[in-house]
Structure 1
């Protein structure tokens, strides 16, 4: 495990494995329900745990609350967990007028968390969820006790086709020619789409258990039946691109210095979607940021290395408690 930081290194010894449940890769997704809070209605999956600490998990583009099954289980002895489906993703229908911009996503989640009334939470964000979590932490510091960012979707303007589960996706978004590509994509079986996604997001796709592949394929089947799902995914994708193309004064890079919460940045060295070369700058700009780079890991470290991510997160929580971060 390669641990680097532009500031002081993370020298704490992670908490003992005895403080976490053994990893059970057969764990089914945690039970889900629709919850209304702060005028926002979201589908969430709850992990039982001590009520005095709450961890909130925010998925990335094309993901859902199911992306946190194993990590939430690992942390369940220390905090209750709330994994959200963001508006337009999973089973959360976007409200009327939702713009799908990162700021809108962050504001919606902030209103929801404030309505839940759990106090400041341990906030986790992966990919686009990490970018939204940064905006939330900068604008609503009272809601965030600690922040863990897993391959956050900071601006990365490398060519897109090689960074998508299928290189035809960008063409499917275009007028005129898009219809032909959308038909081709629609012809893929759910398991083919699941395999494409795993190939893109994992450093070693062979490590994904077969039952997790079936869960992913079933999620594609479910989303195909939801009228708003396809358009929402396209709108979320465009919202992320817009966030990358704003003037420098509005960039995510300018937001990071405003985040006061202790922040752990975790990046996979083999991330194909957002290059690990962005990791040092991200950690450096965060006033209380430190960086953990994981070898042989791709874009979803919480799914690939849940035990390692849990150890690092518990070290962050412990350091926040005793003021040593």
Structure 2
């Protein structure tokens, strides 16, 4: 059946992904491009091992991509039909037409994707910026979210760690351009080592093949003319979201989330304070907490088996309630 023979709500979901040859695709994964009003999203899927599995959607963090979930997806393919998107301006998704990189703008992209495919309610996962985005989606569209799993979510901190300051500084106008000039002689290997030192609790856990893949992806992204703009505007979007009060504040929205929630925090996280775990566990009304003392900012990449088991426990518990 061709896309023109599908209902309009599904037709956007079957186009082949642009530039797929330049993006690494793990065995068992598929890429496609989804055209929506004002934006085009690349979606990485890991189909479930049998028909009828519940859908899941995975949302990456600042500077990341759908590849950040490739380590976790194989551990869940017998439980969910998984899809991970590249947020607008990241991975293989081009910038949004309106240039909106706010948390709300990214949340709108997630909602449009779910509505276009008719996949909701989903098991929704988010890491870092993606955790803030997923929180907003779960708060404003509870009908689209079955469970919520947040890994080091970027929720407001009164006193961010000093190691997180450079990332926050990207939000300051002109800083991204200045950093781009100052680092123009850095190799992709240097940049990749720096990112891993910041994001992993123990960068030594990254094997040679995974490191080479990360370097290739870094080289590809640095060739994109909008790379630094997407980084700077999204960082600004996080900072702006931190300053919002009232019903639009992220902590207030966390309190509105109805979905059963799994919170994962790493003891060596240099970007999201480990001390925020207890506050998050209190804010999300139906939550459970997994703390990993040796993990950094990307526990789903560092300890995928552990995160997968915690999610299975969440799903089992939800099934026992019904």
TM range (shorter): 0.7 to 0.9
Query: Unmatched 5+ residue regions in structure 1?
Result: 1-25
User: Normalization by structure 2: what TM-score?
Assistant: 0.85
Counting only pairs closer than 5 Å after superposition, residues 12-161 of structure 1 correspond to structure 2 as 30-36=29-35, 40-49=39-48, 50-52=50-52, 53-158=54-159
- What is the aligned residue count? 296
State the alpha-carbon separation in 2 of the partners of residues 172 and 245 from structure 1.
13
User: Where does residue 4 of structure 1 map in the other structure?
Assistant: none
Query: Unmatched 5+ residue regions in structure 2?
Result: 1-24
RMSD of aligned residue pairs (Cα, Å): 2.3
State the alpha-carbon separation in 1 of the partners of residues 226 and 189 from structure 2.
22
Q: 1:162 to 1:28 in 2, by over 3 A?
A: farther
Deviation at 1:193, TM superposition (A): 0.7
User: Where does residue 305 of structure 2 map in the other structure?
Assistant: 307
Contact 1:30–1:46 (Cα < 8 Å) also in 2 = yes
- Ranked by relative contact order (alpha carbons within 8 Å, sequence separation 6 or more), the top structure is 1
Q: 1:105 to 1:169 in 2, by over 3 A?
A: closer
Structure 1 window deviating more from structure 2 (34-43 vs 77-86): it is 34-43
Q: 1:37 to 1:74 in 2, by over 3 A?
A: farther
State the alpha-carbon separation in 1 of the partners of residues 178 and 85 from structure 2.
34
Q: 1:37 to 1:117 in 2, by over 3 A?
A: farther
User: Where does residue 286 of structure 1 map in the other structure?
Assistant: 284
Q: 1:316 to 1:259 in 2, by over 3 A?
A: same
Deviation at 1:249, TM superposition (A): 5.1
Deviation at 1:27, TM superposition (A): 5.2
State the alpha-carbon separation in 2 of the partners of residues 284 and 161 from structure 1.
25
Q: 1:99 to 1:29 in 2, by over 3 A?
A: farther
Corresponding position: 1:170 with 2:169: yes
User: Where does residue 10 of structure 1 map in the other structure?
Assistant: none
Deviation at 1:214, TM superposition (A): 1.3
Deviation at 1:73, TM superposition (A): 0.7
1:99-145 CA-partner distances (Å, limit 9, x unpaired): 21111111221111111112311110000100100000011111111
Q: Secondary structure at the match of 1:81?
A: strand
State the alpha-carbon separation in 1 of the partners of residues 276 and 294 from structure 2.
17
Deviation at 1:90, TM superposition (A): 0.8
1:1-57 CA-partner distances (Å, limit 9, x unpaired): xxxxxxxxxxxxxxxxxxxxxxxxx95583322123577521011102144211111
State the alpha-carbon separation in 1 of the partners of residues 77 and 179 from structure 2.
43
User: Where does residue 219 of structure 2 map in the other structure?
Assistant: 221
1:262-289 CA-partner distances (Å, limit 9, x unpaired): 0010111111101011111111111111
User: Normalization by structure 1: what TM-score?
Assistant: 0.85
Q: 1:30 to 1:173 in 2, by over 3 A?
A: farther
